[in-house]
Structure formats: structure tokens, C-alpha cells
Structure 1
């Protein structure tokens, strides 16, 4: 039996939100595996290939015209863009903040995929949607984020069914608590809302997990490379938690 490759040599990949954090780690790992990688970001300070606000259809459409011009097509899409959204009890939450979180996290995933699929159909490509463990569990004080990320899993399952007959694979990865500035901010905001210290909240997050530790962005990146590679050729419609086995999302 021939061994299946974990390489991505020559495959063209777009990583949304690829300028920092998990997205940057995914982009770096795919380049190391041989892919031709471009990234988009709303923040030009991260020096993305394309500046794009995925909540705006006009931005996304313009980006894909540029990708067609620059790369001639696409083999891999990683929908990674996401914002943490507000931290508050539902009756104390700003409805506009709710709408913004869902517009970026769920609507952005739809918009990018809408324009990417014609390219992926031509190459029988692969799509990975970055959800979160909060897309599997309830998560108190973070209902907009939860709603959007549960929605991402629903889109993943639906698109895998829609596109499978054309050879396009669609999967979701659900990171747990990932070390980095974004998670630090989540902890700070939750500590303020519940009246605890950030260290108490951090310890609570660690105790949620069977392995009792945060994970690293590189752990998510490695899973993306695997799912996009020939070694993952028959994996589609799946939701892969990379979280050290989260047992609950109640940190306090």
C-alpha cells in the first residue's frame, strides 16, 4: 500500500484572518508543507496579501477577483476570521454588539465561501472552517460567539453534503482555549464581569480540560495541514475538536 502524503506541494491556499494568531500559524504551517499561501486580514499592519473585511460583500468579491488574477484559482480555503464578541449576560448585552459578532463570524464565513466555491469546484479542493469548542458546548456570557460558532458547524455539515458529489471536502476544527493575546483578552473581560481575578479565570479554563492545559496555535495548524493533505482525502463533514478534551465550558 502506497503511503499517503501530508505534503501540500503547489496547492494554492487562502487563510482568512491569516495575519496573526491561529491564522498566521496555519499559514506558516501550510507554507512549510509546500503550499502557495495567501492571507487576508482587516488589519493592514499585519501585512496581509489582501485587506478584506469579510463582513462586507464588496470587499470579499474584490478579493476573489484579485486571487483569480494572482493565483489563477484556489485549492484550499481556511475560514479562520473571527472576533470574540461581547462578554455579558443576555439581558445586559448590547444588541448591536451581538449583531456585529454574528455578522463577522457566521456571515463572513458564508460570504468568503460563496465566492470561493466556484474555484474549489474546479480543483476538487478542500475547505476548513474554524469553529470552536463553544460551537459544541454552551458557554455562559458569550452567547453571540456561541450562536455564530454553532452556526459554522451547521454550515460545515450542510456544505459537505452539497459539495461532496463534486469532490470538494468540507470540515470544521474546534479549538479549545488557545494561548495568546486574544485568549488573554477573553479572560480579562470575563474576570471583570464575574468579579474574579484573571488568574482565577485562567485556572478555571485549565480545569475545564482533561489535559488541564491550554493548547498552542501550532496544534490547530497541524490539524489543518492534515485535513488539507492527501492523507485526509476521505475526511469530510467532520467536526474535529483540538482542545485537550474539554469537559465543560463553565470556567467558574
Structure 2
């Protein structure tokens, strides 16, 4: 295999993507499908699941509910095993000062962004051990930087990086690779809502808040979901076979938040 060929995942990979019917998850599901993988996703958005293209099977499931994660893995048994699991599900959480964030909002963010990743990793361990596979956890640049008024989100994403590096040490001897992808400011409805909420918190316009956010990115632009999908494909390709325990930013170099 030459270097160029090593950049393409082998056909027939068995791939699971959580929250795979929208945004980054959908971009990754499409990318793996186009690379010849068999793909199963879950999501809480029933309409988005119904709109998935042929070739992507699905389960309606909320990863913060352990019983629903169990059902997801039961449904995914039709793949005949798992080579790649993408722990993508997450929410933005509240935008507010810490004294204004109530316990329910905090717990919901941690339940989905962190506990959900645990539930998936817990269930994926056996299958990935059998295939000597790959776990990709979605974190964020907020998992390497402080993020005022977004403390539940940032705390959960720092924890995801810790989970990733610990599992890489734990599973590496079994041939399982574990990495985190840290997207930056990704274009789409979620960041639009975050910018709107932060602008309100700061008492400035949406346009001012957006400009301020991009001023902290060296490349002065947002990331596209397909950029994150491309990193996932590379990690699943032979060329990524020695990348393990890493927190890989796809962000245009976000300098601060």
C-alpha cells in the first residue's frame, strides 16, 4: 500500500455514529458511507432519521439514557461487529453566569456530553476489542481553553479529553485506538444559537459577537462539518493506525474563547 492509498479507509468498515442525523454527525455518517462503510447512527430527531439516505441504518435513541444506548447496540448488531465508533452526541448547554445556571441545566449537559460517552464506550469495548478498532470521541476547543459563561459545556469537554486519554492507555494494549476530535467554531444552527445567546449575555449585536468570535481564530473563518468528517476518515484509514490518545483540534487555530 502506498502513502496515498493509506489515506483512504478500507471498504466495508462497520461504523456507528451517535447523533448522526444532523450536523457534524451527519457529515461523518455520509463520509463513511461514501468511503464504502456500513453505517448505523442514532439520534433524538425522528424526522432527521427518517430523511437519512439508503445505506445508513438508524435507532431513535438519547445517549444520556443507558437503556436506550443498550437498544442502540442491539440494533447495531446487524452490522456484524464494530470497527469504528464515533461518540458524537452532545449539546451546547446553557449560556449564563455560573450563579444563574440551575442544577437541571448543568446535569443535562453533563449527562449528554460526558455520561453519554461513557455509556457508549462501556458498551463498545467488547466489539472494538474483537476488531482492534477505533473510538473517536467528539470534544471541542472548549476542552483545551476556558470558556466564560459556558462552564457546563467546557467542563464536559475537558472531561471528554480526559476520558479519551485514559481509555487510550487502557485499551491500547488490546489494539484499540482512542482519539478525540476538538472542533472549533463549526458553521450551522448550533453555533448561531450560541452566538445569539452570548450576544444577549454581553448586550451586543449578533454581528458584533460573531466578529469577536472569529477574531480569536487565526484563520478568521468557521470550520465546516465536512472538515471534521475528513479528520474522522483519516483516523479510520491505515495512515492513522499509529495515532492514539490524541486530542486533535480542527479549528483554524482558535486562540481563546
Shared fold (TM-score greater than 0.5)? yes
Q: Work out the CA distance in 2 between the residues paired with 1:209 and 1:11.
A: 35
Is contact 1:120–1:126 with CA below 8 Å preserved after alignment?
Answer: yes
Q: Work out the CA distance in 1 between the residues paired with 2:205 and 2:12.
A: 48
Q: Which residue of 1 aligns with 2:135?
A: 127
The correspondence of residues 187-206 of structure 1 with structure 2, limited to 5 A, is 187-206=195-214
Is contact 1:8–1:30 with CA below 8 Å preserved after alignment?
Answer: no
Q: Work out the CA distance in 2 between the residues paired with 1:19 and 1:196.
A: 33
Q: Which residue of 2 aligns with 1:24?
A: 26
Deviates more, 1:188-197 or 1:139-148: 188-197
CA deviation string 1:155-208 (max 9, x = no partner):
000000000001000000000000001100101111111111111110011101
Shift of 1:67: 1.2
Give TM-score scaled by structure 1 length: 0.96
Q: Which residue of 1 aligns with 2:14?
A: 12
Q: Supply the RMSD in Å over aligned alpha carbons.
A: 1.0
Q: Which residue of 2 aligns with 1:102?
A: 110
Q: Which residue of 2 aligns with 1:64?
A: 73
Q: Work out the CA distance in 2 between the residues paired with 1:159 and 1:102.
A: 19
The correspondence of residues 223-234 of structure 1 with structure 2, limited to 5 A, is 223-234=231-242
Q: Work out the CA distance in 2 between the residues paired with 1:89 and 1:78.
A: 31
Equivalent position SS for 1:40: strand
Q: Work out the CA distance in 1 between the residues paired with 2:249 and 2:96.
A: 25
Q: Among 195, 207, 217, which residue is 1:209 paired with?
A: 217
The answer as to 2:164 corresponding to 1:156 is: yes
Q: Work out the CA distance in 2 between the residues paired with 1:2 and 1:193.
A: 52
Equivalent position SS for 2:12: coil
Q: Work out the CA distance in 2 between the residues paired with 1:193 and 1:243.
A: 24
Residue segments in structure 1 that go unaligned for 5+ positions in a row: none
Shift of 1:2: 3.6
Equivalent position SS for 2:242: coil
Is contact 2:7–2:234 with CA below 8 Å preserved after alignment?
Answer: no
Q: Work out the CA distance in 1 between the residues paired with 2:140 and 2:75.
A: 30
- Pairs aligned (count): 248
Equivalent position SS for 1:39: strand
Give TM-score scaled by structure 2 length: 0.94
Q: Which residue of 2 aligns with 1:46?
A: 48
Residue segments in structure 2 that go unaligned for 5+ positions in a row: 51-57
